[in-house]
Structure 1
């Protein structure tokens, strides 16, 4: 099997998910033939979700609830921490994750039902955290736009993080939310190198497109920030300061970063990706990752999983602090959103 992925995809591999009851392996039968360029079409399934607001108690993230319109992500980022979640649908965290997608077609009605529940207490909803709310299928599905329309009508605060320039389609809604201090947008920016972006995040917007989108939102009054996530040793970590400076110039006023995380099936996929694209440095990259994770591919402990430990992790953290201070990127916008405006339409009728 070729190490290189199908055209426009992040991985060539489709490993069994950890819940699969059986496993099969392909064997070469000796019949040679020239390989034709691989392609893999995107399939979209529909889901009628029972709930759409997901709660979490993680101390490592700045929100306690999120809404994800889609399962799987066509952007195809090889390192995506959400890949293992595809196993719950009896699908592979590999190629299936970026080609066999699930759209929550009843998202709008479920979101309204949950916001109208008696006793609901508003806090910022993080929209599109597990997978990107502005991945390519959003052009047709429009589930993210439907969610924003509801949140605007309810005056509910929302935070978005994306790699998609498609967010500019919803500038009309975002500016109205921003006027009431109800929205912030973070752009995930991992590299300024188009070729590295192509193999690392094949169907995400180009670095220049993300920076243009950031600048457009900033000029329209929408608060924007940058997430340099993930930082990968010897692959893109050397760009950290340049990423922060470019984001500052595009209007970002706060910043964050995450050291590469390799939970569950992602570790195997990432090592295969390294062998396909960076075989000469693969061993060194994995050595630095393991040095930052207590000798393992991943350390899931709260407090360390986002930053790591050890010499490399400490140096990266120091570089980030110095650069953030130099470029004036020291705020956290999610904390400043206004929850006091929340007003479910028609709520006053319940008093009659």
Structure 2
């Protein structure tokens, strides 16, 4: 491994915000002086920035993403997953997709208020809202601020169908709320587990919960009647693609009812970030992995075509698809996959429905 790697981070450098087009540049005189002089200087600290957005629940228009609405209490993510597709969204806030994404975390102070206003609005019909479709709603700052917990309290209050996507075992803190939601069949949790190897996890996702803790979350949630799916996302050829069968077997034994997957896609600025990371952290495998990723996406690392961008195409993608199908047929066959219940919310919002 290169001695120049930045410990505890996924991205190994900052990336210029493409929307600035070199017209604006944020400079730090001390750090830029050190760079000119050939010295390394990096504070590597995380900054937390409170914001007050006008909206919180977002409609998801992508046809190949399995959700209709998402809500993200945080923008940017300290987990530092080097492959994260959400990195590009940080540019809309004026920051970079590289280290800025991991070190400048925006938290939405008024998220619970906006959420309740949305679901009680006249035309809202109770579509499932997923926390979070972009960045992790249980990243480290949540332990202190509890924005996600406050949002879940509102969802339980209104008996509203809810989805959660996370790779942090901090979700177990809110087991009391989730258990009550499970009784109403209004909660589904998706735990992201990309590997069973801690070495791989540390490389790809340096500030996430350990694999052991995530497996514990699958087990505890399932034992408490909470519907749990696992996301093996992304699958990266020659890095974790060989783990499909053992991973599905393990999470099925712990109570997961389904496993879904995506093939890694390096859209926007992520291709440059991932390439830099690969050559610094796994130089002996970097070229092979990058070539195989490109093979899954029509010869390009940057793939935004609907359909192909999620599952890929070609020989490697087909092998992944077939292996996942075998694993699910072997270990998950017959598992219950209930649809979340909207009736409790609709009756609570409009008591007159009980008359019919």
Equivalent positions of 1:1-352 (< 5 A) are: 4-22=4-22, 40-328=44-332, 333=337, 336-343=339-346
TM-score normalized with structure 2 length: 0.91
Tell me how far apart the structure 1 counterparts of residues 16 and 35 of structure 2 sit (CA, whole Å).
22
Tell me how far apart the structure 1 counterparts of residues 118 and 36 of structure 2 sit (CA, whole Å).
57
What is the CA distance between 1:8 and its match in structure 2? 1.4
What is the CA distance between 1:57 and its match in structure 2? 2.4
Cα 1:244–1:346, aligned 2, differ >3 Å: closer, same or farther?
Answer: closer
Q: Alignment partner of 1:342: what SS? A: helix
What is the CA distance between 1:324 and its match in structure 2? 0.8
Q: Alignment partner of 1:229: what SS? A: strand
User: Gaps (5+ residues) in structure 1?
Assistant: none
What is the CA distance between 1:89 and its match in structure 2? 1.1
CA root-mean-square deviation:
2.2
Which whole-Å deviations, capped at 9, do the CAs of 1:106-127 have from their partners, x for residues lacking one? 0011111111111211111111
Which whole-Å deviations, capped at 9, do the CAs of 1:187-236 have from their partners, x for residues lacking one? 11011111221121011000010001110111111111111000011111
Which whole-Å deviations, capped at 9, do the CAs of 1:241-293 have from their partners, x for residues lacking one? 11111111211011100000111000000001110111112111111111111
User: Gaps (5+ residues) in structure 2?
Assistant: none
User: Residue 5 of structure 1 contacts residue 11 of structure 1 at CA under 8 Å; is this kept in 2?
Assistant: no
User: Residue 196 of structure 2 contacts residue 247 of structure 2 at CA under 8 Å; is this kept in 1?
Assistant: yes
* Higher helix content, 1 or 2: 2
Tell me how far apart the structure 2 counterparts of residues 329 and 49 of structure 1 sit (CA, whole Å).
43
Q: Alignment partner of 2:311: what SS? A: coil
TM-score normalized with structure 1 length: 0.92
Q: How many residues were matched structurally?
A: 345
Tell me how far apart the structure 1 counterparts of residues 349 and 234 of structure 2 sit (CA, whole Å).
43
What is the CA distance between 1:133 and its match in structure 2? 0.5
Indicate the larger mover: 162-171 or 283-292: 283-292
Cα 1:102–1:330, aligned 2, differ >3 Å: closer, same or farther?
Answer: farther
